[in-house]
Each structure stands twice: as structure tokens, then as C-alpha cells.
Amino acid sequence: MWLSLHIILTLALCIYQCATVNPLWSDIASLVVAIICFLTVFPIVGLLSFHVALMKMGLTTNEQVTHKFSGSDNPYTMGCLRNFLNMFFRPKPLRYVGYKGFVQLETAAYLPKERR
């Protein structure tokens, strides 16, 4: 979402900059950036709209591509508004910090000889 907004605003500012300069070729950098933004805005906004539609339906990309719930109702959807709220305002999941700890001396006897 932020990338789409950033590209649209950059495109608008570059077009404004190119429109206010008398000879267009005197500010070639703004013209090049405007062309790049124009070429990239459509795929990025297209992906954004596709994923917003997936959030509205409560599906993942894999479920959409494989048509997992095409013949029946999706049991995981909570409605459009609650899907968005769940996506953006749910608490962060717990992280597994420190799961690769050091081997204690008591358990080193049970390891194979090449790992001791």
C-alpha cells in the first residue's frame, strides 16, 4: 500500500516539475523518473488491488490460485471489515527466540562422537 502511494506521489511531483520547466529537456532527471514511475505504477497497483480483494474474501494467495474454496463457503472468513481489522490490528505472533541454545555438558554424552 505504501509503495503504491509513494509511486503515485512521485509520479505526480515529477509531472508537476516537468510541467513547470520551460524547456522540457532541461530537467531530464524528472522526466526519466516520471517515465519509470508511470511504467511501474500499473503492476504495483494491480497487485495491491488483488491482495486487497483477497483480504476482503479472507483467502491466501495459495487458496485463491488452487481454488480451494471455489465450490463452498470459506470457513475462515469473518466478513470484509473483520478480515481487514484482523489483518492490520491483530497482535504480533510470538517469536521463537533462543531455540538454538548451547548443548549442556550433561547432554553431550548422548551426542554422536563427531558432534562433541
How much is the pLDDT for 35? Answer: 87
Are 64 and 44 contacting, i.e. CB atoms less than 8 angstroms apart? no
pTM for this entry: 0.59
Q: What does the pLDDT look like over 65-103, one tens digit per residue?
A: 887 777 777 777 888 888 888 888 888 777 666 666 555
Cα–Cα separations (whole angstroms), residue 62 to 26, 51, 55, 88: 48, 12, 13, 20
Highest mean pLDDT among 3-17, 68-82, 100-114 belongs to: 3-17
> What share of the chain in percent tops pLDDT 70?
78
Computed over every residue of the chain, the mean pLDDT equals: 78
Amino acid found at 109: A
